[in-house]
Amino acid sequence: MLYHGERAATNLNLDQAEALNRAMRWHAYRNFILWWWGSLGRGNRQRMPSCVLWAIRDAFPSPTGQYVGFRDVLQGL
């Protein structure tokens, strides 16, 4: 079974496929956050459940397998 990212990346070169999957991951993360918590922003961040992160990463994989992960807001900015 092909996932969304694999199906969309079939006719693209590697750089285009990675850019597409990165954008699709960002949109999937954003849509989940809006659905689950509503609007978040600076100083109001939540960690996504691990199962959600891995489902999104499995659907739209990075060819290197490296992801940024959760970044907390720095205090004092």
Tell me: the pLDDT tens digits for 12-57? 677 888 899 999 999 999 999 999 998 887 777 888 899 999 999 9
The structure's pTM equals: 0.68
**Helices in 1-77 by DSSP H: which ranges?**
4-8, 14-36, 50-59
Residue 8 contacts residue 24 (beta carbons within 8 Å): yes
Choose between 7 and 54: higher pLDDT.
54
Confidence at residue 18, expressed as pLDDT on a 0 to 100 scale? 87
- Domain with 19, as residue range(s), is 6-59
- Does residue 40 lie within any of the structural domains? yes
DSSP 3-state percent helix, strand, coil across the chain (nearest 5): 50, 5, 50
Choose between 1 and 22: higher pLDDT.
22
Indicate the number of domains in the chain: 1
- Does residue 21 lie within any of the structural domains? yes
- Does residue 26 lie within any of the structural domains? yes
